[in-house]
Structure 1
């Protein structure tokens, strides 16, 4: 059957309307359960943050948000699973700084972190605290550095493993202050702080939840914070930058990532909804108990932080000449 020009024109004119109807028929995200991958063990710090966040998002979305622990290889196993997942917003990752450190520590990675993952939103920020045993008799970073200079190689510094954030910051501190402090790696900072309490370790760089354990015993003193500003939970503690040590203004963070080709509309919605959830007083209070502050914001703002921290830790790792295989 031949169509006349009028019929063709009417058909063409109806295309935008049909497209609009098709778009309206597209189900709104999310319309089924969302999997939140935590690349660490259940019961750890990242998992503990994932649980209340998942509950808040589930309530807002009206869909289950299922926390799925995929530990192994310093977060690489779980992170890689998300990098390879279908980019539809139904598999997302809760990551921390190791996500930008690992590519610079390892010669081979099973994925390209910056190319295969899309930063969605920063969830929280938290400084690390420089803590020392009270028996050292120092109360400021300057006094600690002066003591280290007078006792080269005699003071010890604990971290949660070789090439961990604490170890990298110690290495930077030693270079900038020109001191020699002995690094002692532990399997976890809980063990390290107990060793400090027992008097067998002099110092460490730890999160608030760990520092608090030592503070409660009265045997540990917090003398500085590695971050851009003072923390609301310990406002009396100056930043290391305030104390004259430059290069310690990068905060620790947790944030959500999605597979790289996830539609921008979905990435934007997750960021918007997470930011709204982070204004919930109960969630703010829960984060504060662990020493963290809610963040939120846009995907673009978080992507900027990820790129900056990738470069920051690339330089620290290169200067320290550290590699993991």
Structure 2
């Protein structure tokens, strides 16, 4: 079943310059409700906190004149986005980040039965982008040409970093009001923007390659998928070298394939797996720090402590001492 949102009120909500604006749409026949709250971070940055509760499998179509760089983080159930401007259709999973440069949006969101979604989106306008974003890219002409032709450009889609997920949830659930709330939202939003711009610039530089494009056949792709599954689900903590041997794919193809297929690196996923494993072991109270360090593959306890503290923002000694976890 499909349903189109074409309300003038929705367009007014998107484009208005009110400091805080709320919008709600009840879908007929008790199919669900969609709510959104807009807050202005600064003149060229808008934040949208959107939630939906849908009772039946449904495709909601909409058109809006939202314009700029959109940084969206999905905080709850999976949905499918379609974009008619570039003929794309993608699954937007929980804890994923999607960054698009758009001049208008004409597409749909496909919800499954009894779906509850929650997402945060920062929309950044061109004057801010001219100052801080475009100079860091190599393909600005293509980006702007697509924009002028009302073709959306997907810049990044991947699992959000641990830091970005925390920041997005803090933005969505701000505990403050008034001027303190404004300051709180600005600090968190700027941190996300800085982190994502930096990541995009780094990827942009790494994608400059004078060598011939590496091709991945079906066996390579299966090996890459197996490698990702091993990292995330196996009890063993893999090194890149071990993982390469396990899936019979050389390290160069493994690293490049992760960027091409999953928009991340095997090292990032290995670190995530190590830290989560360490957290679980420490939380049992059955292991000391030296034992956990060895189990998750660190030769030196100090190296483990530094990595753990940087990842979780808490020292493992304090975690053991307090037995209180804020992850």
TM class by shorter chain equals: under 0.3
TM-score (norm 1): 0.23
How does the TM-score come out when normalised to structure 2? Answer: 0.23
Structure exhibiting the larger radius of gyration computed from Cα positions: 1
- The structure whose residues are more often strand, as a share, is 2
